[in-house]
Every structure is written in C-alpha cells, then in structure tokens.
Structure 1
C-alpha cells in the first residue's frame, strides 16, 4: 500500500529543510547551540559524548528547520520530523533526533493559529498504530500541550476515516474537535507503533477553512522562525535532558502515571533511568506492559537522542519483546550481546539514558511497574527466569534483519 508520508507536502518540506541547512547563516547558530550544551553540562559531560556535541547541535537545529517548514498556519501542511538520517525518493533526509525522540513514533507537525479554522481528515492505512494522539501545542519545542485527542476518543466512520475540526469555538458536544487558544503554534500528531511490521501511520490531510490571512511564508521566514526558536528552546531541552542525567547512576525512577503529576497525557505513564555500564556488565530491567495499548522501552545516548534504532536493537515494544510467564518483560541492557532475545544494545556507549512509556493505559489493567538490577553478563543465566528466550548468533542476525526490514517500511513509497 502507498506510504502516507510520501506525499508532495512532505517532499517539499524536506527540500526546504535541505535549503535551510545549506544557508551559511546557520553555521554560527549550530556552534552557539553546541556551546550552550557544552557550558551547561560542564565537567559532567562524559568523555565519550564530548565529540558528539557537534552532531547534537546539527540534529537539534535541523529539527527546528523542520518545524520552521511546518509553521505556516495560513497554508498548513503536515511535516514528519524527529527521524534519523535516511535516504528515500532519491534524496537524503538529514537526521533530526533530539529530546528523547521515540523510535516507535511517526511524528508530524502542522502550523496552527488561534482564530483560524481547520479540518484534519484521516484514514487508516492498513493496521493502525497502537496509540495515536493529536495535540495542540503553544511552543516550537512542542512541550506546552493545550488540547489533546487520542484515537480511542474519536468517532470513526465504518470505512476507517474521521474528520477533526480545529477552531476557537467550544466543543459543544463535538467529540472530533480541538479548541485552539491564544498562542497556538502547531498541531502535533504521534502515531505510536507497537508492531513495526504491521502497523502504519494514518493517512492525514489538513486544510484551512476560509480565506488565508496572509500569503505563504518564504524560505527566509522559515529559516528565521526556526533559528530564533531553536536558540530559545535549547535551554528547555537542556532541562529535559537533566531530568534523566540527574537520576542517580544505575537506577530508575518509579513508574508513574502522568495524571498524578499534572502534566502530559492523563493516559500515559513513564519511568526513566540513568546507567553507566562496563564492558562485561549488564542491567536487568523488569517491567509490566500492564495492558496498555502501547508500552515500550528505549535507550538514548547521554545527550538524550535516540540511538540508531534503525540498525540496532536499542528499543523494544511489548509486541517485539519476549514476555515471561508472569506477564513481565525482562530486558537486558548491555554493551555487547548477552545472548538474550530482549537485549537493549547501548551501541557501545558506557553511559546511556532509558525511557519506559505506557500510553492508553486501561482501567482494568495492572498497575505499571518497573525495576532495575545491576549484574554481569556472565551471571545472567542464574538471575533470569527459566523460560527466558535465549538466542544464538544466527537467531540474532535474523531478529535484526526483521527489525531493519520493518523500519524500511517507513522510508519506502509502497
């Protein structure tokens, strides 16, 4: 079936991003972003991460170039962001990973303005993602959520389609509706996929209702918006990273529903961790999928960017993992292959961060839970359950080949 991301708006936005990246005015801004992070981390920055500051700044700024390309609220277009670098349609798409980006998500953005009406039309494209959220955000950093809809809240037509109205009016009983507020910047869509081999992002289109209040923004304005907001938001993203790197080394935070914190999606829960792992060491991470429609774990580098999940197993969803007889999932974080199906590969890094996510948690589900135990690779057989799924070299190669092929579905046209 056609890839819903392979559309003229996306390809045009990617061309705009390539043009902005080639603009020499971006070079001192990249350098400034790298310097901000370097000064902020100071002596806490692991030696293995210091050479990566330039890459961090480059992907960070590229992420904001994508946001600039998506920011025209009077001529909206949906633009995929937060991807690792890849090739498709004969062109190179630069990496834009930052802020604990989720390997399982298809992230899309479209410019939204208070006082303008929009119609978002969607349709399933094969098997739909385990959880889909539509949020209105008030900043380029996409962290200030002011309105939220999830797929299970929508009224769907029998043919798998729906329409969401976006405007400043109260809902007045309209379930497929998002109400804008002053300062709205983006519609932010996340398709969270548990099964990479079968689930696909929605086929989405967005249109403004009524006359445009301004002509289309120019490439120069996209660049100006992107760079202005990137320099502002770097401090917030530094703060996000510090929430994890300030966790005591080799420990995790308790699994917590975000509803109890007053921020984020009320149906989401998280646990985070910070690990320093020697060449022969391992961490057994035990967690309960808890009946959530979407549950997954990922590792990031110490700078809070996803690892190269398109080639290594640095993340696992509940659908990809082997589940033990007690309903728990036990994953092993290690720098080299421990021979366990549920290996989380650190890509050789000694220092990594971890994020567990539960989305669309069910009232009848068990309480979310996670724990971590330090050990060594040699001691794993005596510490993991008898039913643990072990793999040899050939089985690992086949597992990774399936993962790579499943990821390739995202960057093909059919």
Structure 2
C-alpha cells in the first residue's frame, strides 16, 4: 500500500516538533501543565493514575507542538496529530494523545486564516474511510467548529478525486466549499476508519491561493504558539475530562447528538461512561449500530487518553465486533480476559472512561441507543446471549496480532 501520511510536509513537521522538544524552556512549561492537572483533580485523582500525570502533560504539550507545526496559514501543510509514539524513517515521533482521542481516526490539521483563499485536493489512497469530515475550527483546542463538510456531501470525480475551496465568501452555488469566519485557525480533518486492515486515510494536499502575506514561520514562532495555547487550553481539556469522570461510577449516559453539547464534531452521536472495576467485575455494553456509517466504542484511561489501542483491544468498531443475530453489539469491559471476543481491555486499570460514537447516521434510520449491565466475569455465560462469540488464548492472540498488523499500516514508510 501507499501511506499518504508519509509525505514531505508531515516529515518536516515531525522534525520541527522534535526541535521544539529540545528547547530548554519546554520542561518548566510541561511541569506547569502537570501541576495544573494535579491541583484540578486533587483528591479525586485515583491512586493508580497519579504516576501517569507527567505522561499526560507530555502528550498534551506534544499535541500543541504538532498544532503549532501545522498553524502557518500563509504556508499551509497537513500535519497528523493525536498519535501514540512511533518510530519511522529512523526517528522517534513523540506521542500526542489527549482529550479522548479516537483510535479509529487519522487526525490532520492545516493552518487557515480568515481573509485568505485555499484549495484542497483529495484522492482515495486505498479503501475509503467509513466517514470523513472537514471542519473549520476557531480555536487551538479544535472544539469550536464553525463550518463542516462530510464525505457524503462532497462531489467526487469518477477517478476518486475531489477539490474543496476555502475562503471568506459563502458558497453561492459552489460545491465542495467551506466559508471561513473571523478567528478561524485550522482545517481539521478526521478520517474515521471502521476496518483498519482495508480503509486508508485520504491523500490530501492544500495550497493558499495568491501571494503570501508573510514568510514561513520559524521554530521560535511555533514554540511560542504551542506553549501559549497549550497553557491556555489546559482548563478546557480538564473540563472535557470532567464531563466523563463526574458521571456516577459504573453508569453510562443515554445516547445524544454532540451538537446539543456545543463541542466537538457537530454531526456525531455519542454516549459516555465512567467505570471503577474490581478484578472480577464486568460491564456489558449493549448498543445498536443503528445503520450509522461509522460506529465504535473506545476506552480511555481516567485521564482521558486513548488506552494503548495500538497494542491491546481497548476499542472496537462495529466492523471489528461480533454482531449478534438481533443486529446489536454486546461488548464486555473487564480488567482481565473474560473469554468474550468483544472484550474491551482496561490494561488492568480499575478506573476507565468509555466513549461510544455514531457518525454518518442514516436519515430516517433507527435511533441510537445503548444500555449497560454491571455483572461479574463468572456470570457472563448467563448474562450474554447464546450467540455470543467466545475465544480461547490462541484465538485471542490471533485477534491481537491482526489488530497490531492493521495498525502498522499507519506508520509504515513508503518504499522508495
């Protein structure tokens, strides 16, 4: 396969991020972020999470370094963000997971400015992702969506290509257009992949039209943007985490459209959960994929970072799940392997958060819904339907091996 993320703009941005991490001013800023979170959580912070605060601060700050590397609106480039740490081309790329990052998404950003015009060219680079969104965001935290296009709204060429125009004017009959607003900072692209082994992020390029208003920004300017905005946005991301951890323990919220909360991807439906599990406890998540183009459940640690999905089965899309004859998906959250194929692995942690997402929901389709049953591992045989798929140790190892191999497609360099 061709990996569309292995491109000169991405590799240059990764080099810039590594350079910023070597700046001697970075460590005091990272320490401030750790301190802010520690003060904010106080005694609420579970003991098992306290040793992870420094890693949380590190990945949080790295996320804003990547955003700064993508932020030059006069010389835009797409930069992938929100990834676990990985190595390619002989160099390490630091992890940047934060804020309930979705294991199924390829997240990319490009700097956009109100008052400038841009052209984006996209093409299929393999199997089409289940859902793709192009959102203009008015803040570094990428929560303030002001315009959005999804793949089903685009006009595609017969060859699998498309063009999107971006400027300050209304579409006025133009297809594939996004209108900027005062304060627009980024174009934020999410390729949501249901089948990791087949679906591939789009091959994207972007150019600003007309003469640039300024030379390319340098490392010092990137560093200033990254650290200033990271320190400002700690409080917003602390609030995001508290939306989940303030839920009663071992409960979930009814499914609801995210647009009603005024944050994130406005076309998405979600449910969330907060769990504190003993060694033998199990939570059965029972949901209807509801004919959505994309549906998936993920676990995060209590600090709201994705839970090492690249090495363990801490998330499952509808395509990765065994579906019961009634069309519903039943997943089991547990600290140890219960033998259920649809196991969500907490990596032994007692305190975890859950996010269930539906995207590209079918007009007039079934309503989204989810239920929870708390039980124990030894009662699962009686609490789950007879159609439940069970696996032994060898079958589990095969599932994890296939998962890791599928994930590797994202970080495999192209052969020159």
Q: TM-score, normalised by structure 1?
A: 0.99
Aligned: 1:342 with 2:342: yes
Which has the higher mean CA deviation after the structures are superposed, 257-266 or 353-362?
257-266
Instruction: Please give the alpha-carbon distance, in whole angstroms, between the structure 1 residues aligned to 2:156 and 2:413.
Output: 26
Instruction: Please give the alpha-carbon distance, in whole angstroms, between the structure 2 residues aligned to 1:307 and 1:265.
Output: 21
In the other structure, the counterpart of 1:183 is: 183
In the other structure, the counterpart of 1:162 is: 162
Three-state SS of the structure 2 residue aligned to 1:61 is helix
Native 8 Å contact 2:268 2:358 kept in 1? yes
Deviation of the 1:259 alpha carbon: 4.3
Instruction: Please give the alpha-carbon distance, in whole angstroms, between the structure 1 residues aligned to 2:266 and 2:105.
Output: 19
Native 8 Å contact 2:125 2:203 kept in 1? yes
Instruction: Please give the alpha-carbon distance, in whole angstroms, between the structure 1 residues aligned to 2:267 and 2:60.
Output: 28
* Residues 66-85 of structure 1 aligned to structure 2 (within 5 Å): 66-85=66-85
Q: What is the count of residue pairs matched by the alignment?
A: 414
Instruction: Please give the alpha-carbon distance, in whole angstroms, between the structure 2 residues aligned to 1:46 and 1:266.
Output: 32
Three-state SS of the structure 1 residue aligned to 2:92 is strand
Three-state SS of the structure 2 residue aligned to 1:147 is strand
In the other structure, the counterpart of 2:207 is: 207
In the other structure, the counterpart of 1:402 is: 402
In the other structure, the counterpart of 1:380 is: 380
Three-state SS of the structure 1 residue aligned to 2:375 is strand
In the other structure, the counterpart of 1:361 is: 361
Residues 259 and 184 of structure 1: CA distance in aligned 2, closer, same or farther (over 3 Å): closer
Instruction: Please give the alpha-carbon distance, in whole angstroms, between the structure 2 residues aligned to 1:239 and 1:87.
Output: 32
Instruction: Please give the alpha-carbon distance, in whole angstroms, between the structure 2 residues aligned to 1:372 and 1:174.
Output: 45
In the other structure, the counterpart of 2:411 is: 411
Three-state SS of the structure 2 residue aligned to 1:239 is helix
Deviations 1:27-86 (A, max 9, x none): 000000000000000100000000100000000000000001000000000000000001
Deviation of the 1:253 alpha carbon: 0.2
Three-state SS of the structure 2 residue aligned to 1:3 is coil
The unaligned stretches of length 5 or more in structure 2 are none
Three-state SS of the structure 1 residue aligned to 2:120 is strand
Deviation of the 1:258 alpha carbon: 2.8
Deviation of the 1:268 alpha carbon: 1.4
Residues 264 and 67 of structure 1: CA distance in aligned 2, closer, same or farther (over 3 Å): closer
In the other structure, the counterpart of 2:276 is: 276
The unaligned stretches of length 5 or more in structure 1 are none
Deviations 1:172-196 (A, max 9, x none): 0112000001111000000000000
Deviation of the 1:257 alpha carbon: 2.1
In the other structure, the counterpart of 2:328 is: 328
Instruction: Please give the alpha-carbon distance, in whole angstroms, between the structure 1 residues aligned to 2:328 and 2:32.
Output: 45
Instruction: Please give the alpha-carbon distance, in whole angstroms, between the structure 2 residues aligned to 1:69 and 1:150.
Output: 25
Q: TM-score, normalised by structure 2?
A: 0.98
Deviation of the 1:11 alpha carbon: 0.3
Instruction: Please give the alpha-carbon distance, in whole angstroms, between the structure 2 residues aligned to 1:261 and 1:105.
Output: 21
Instruction: Please give the alpha-carbon distance, in whole angstroms, between the structure 2 residues aligned to 1:341 and 1:322.
Output: 7
Three-state SS of the structure 2 residue aligned to 1:48 is helix
Residues 70 and 257 of structure 1: CA distance in aligned 2, closer, same or farther (over 3 Å): same
Deviation of the 1:267 alpha carbon: 3.1
Instruction: Please give the alpha-carbon distance, in whole angstroms, between the structure 2 residues aligned to 1:242 and 1:265.
Output: 18
Instruction: Please give the alpha-carbon distance, in whole angstroms, between the structure 1 residues aligned to 2:402 and 2:228.
Output: 41
Instruction: Please give the alpha-carbon distance, in whole angstroms, between the structure 2 residues aligned to 1:278 and 1:116.
Output: 55
Deviation of the 1:261 alpha carbon: 4.6
In the other structure, the counterpart of 2:392 is: 392
Native 8 Å contact 2:145 2:266 kept in 1? no
Aligned: 1:317 with 2:325: no
Deviation of the 1:171 alpha carbon: 0.5
Aligned: 1:194 with 2:233: no
Instruction: Please give the alpha-carbon distance, in whole angstroms, between the structure 1 residues aligned to 2:117 and 2:366.
Output: 41
Aligned-residue CA RMSD (Å)? 0.9
